[in-house]
Amino acid sequence: MDLKFLDFEQPIAELEAKIEELRKVEIDNEINISDTLQELEKKCEMLTESIFQNLTDWQISQLSRHPGRPYTLDYIDLIFTDFHELHGDRAFADDPAIVCGLARLEGQPVMVIGHQKGRDTKEKIYRNFGMPRPEGYRKALRMMKMAERFKLPLICLIDTPGAYPGIGAEERGQSEAIARNLFEMARLKTPIICVVIGEGGSGGALAIGVGDRLIMLEYSTYAVISPEGCASILWKSADKAQLAAEAMAITSDRIREQGFLDEVVREPLGGGHRDFQKTAMNLRETLLRHLDELKQQAEDMEQLLETRYQRIMRLGSYIDESVK
């Protein structure tokens, strides 16, 4: 069993391995079995399609944190040019769980901020599994202010299990750091596009997630708490995470149904991890389109901020009995 694949991806992985074997046989023995191979490849595609057509919310939740999924730095590499990473909050430290920097998107200078997870064990620890500490959020805030000052649009890529629950993080004011970003982003005088590229983990995600656009990748998720966390509190058992994932409506399609999203970026068959290039190009096209719209709107900055404010005020549904 290949650990790079999720449970439900195993049949695809097995079939692909078989095709690979046959291809070697074909080359080594100089025989022609290309018809068989083609047939198998088609079968593999159909198998992937049938599996991905009926994904449960829980499976999508697993995909959103797939170890092979493209991360912020992958997108920066594939979508942007001239990236200069900028470090540090100027007060305490540099937090590797959030990367920030100047970059160009089809020539246009922008500020990019994103959560960053690690690929191997060493990098995972270095990036703290994508869980920022207060200094990470304060670094992000510093970059936001810089973006405002130099009239650079802000692009935020969200991919975190949540803000880090540690002793030092509490001592240095994790709550305040998150709150301050929410407060400042609501009135930041530059266009802001937020994209959930993987895991949208609660307040830790929202702290770089307030803006003029909210976009999600097809197999990303966004929720107030992780399915495991929710299950252990409400079902008293983390094993019920599948139920929690469904109950909280965490997938891009279900979040769009609730009217929170501007767009869902489709991913290639089998998920973003199977084709970085294609996923990045889909996202790039979306970013450019929204950036164009927002740049026009930003000519009247007061109006852009007012629209953003009204957008934020509409979030959340309730019943008003005094209106009837």
Partner 1 sequence: MSWFEKLVPSIIRTDGNERKASVPEGLWNKCPSCDAILYNAELEKNFNVCPKCEFHMRISARVRLEMFLDEGEKEEIAAGLKASDPLKFKDSKKYKDRLAQAQKKTKENDALIVMKGTLKGKGIVAAAFDFGFMGGSMGAVVGEKFVRGVNESLRTGFPFIVFTASGGARMQESLHSLFQMSKTSAALARLSEAGIPYISFMTDPTMGGVSASLAMLGDINVAEPNALIGFAGPRVIEQTVREKLPEGFQRSEFLLEHGAIDMIVDRREMRDTIASILAMLTAAQVTSPVEETQTTTVTESEAVTEETIASSEGENQDV
The residues binding partner 1 (CB under 8 A) are 163-167, 169-176, 178-180, 182-187, 202-203, 206-207, 209-210, 222-225, 230, 233-235, 243-244, 247-250, 255, 257-260, 309-310, 312-323
Nearer to partner 1, 84 or 236 (CB): 236
81 vs 258, beta carbon nearer partner 1: 258
Q: Are 154 and 113 in contact (CB under 8 A)?
A: yes
Residue 232 CB, nearest approach to partner 1 (Å): 10
**Rounded to the nearest whole angstrom, what is the least distance from the CB of residue 167 to partner 1 in the complex?**
6
Nearer to partner 1 by C-beta: 7 or 321? 321
Question: Considering the complex, what minimum distance in angstroms separates the CB of residue 7 from partner 1?
Answer: 24
Q: Which is nearer to partner 1, 79 or 216 (CB)?
A: 216
Kindly list the distances between the CA atom of residue 229 and the CA atoms of 141, 203, 283, in Å, as whole numbers in the listed order.
28, 14, 30
**CB of residue 248 to partner 1, shortest distance in Å:** 4
Nearer to partner 1, 59 or 174 (CB): 174
Q: What is the SS3 string spanning 57-77?
A: HHHHHHHHCCCCCCCHHHHHH
Within a 10 A sphere around the Cβ of 71, how many other Cβ atoms? 22
Closest distance between partner 1 and the C-beta of residue 176, in Å?
4
CB-wise, 51 or 247, nearer to partner 1? Answer: 247
Q: Can you tell me the distance from the alpha carbon of 298 to that of 19, in angstroms, rounded to the nearest whole number?
A: 52
Task: Choose among 43, 136, 32: nearest CA to 93.
Answer: 136
Q: 144 in the Ramachandran plot: left (φ > 0), alpha (ψ -120 to 50) or beta?
A: alpha
Give 17-49 as a 3 state SS string: HHHHHHHHHHHHHCCCCHHHHHHHHHHHHHHHH
Q: How far apart are the first and last CA of the chain?
A: 60
The least CB distance from residue 200 to partner 1, in Å, is 9
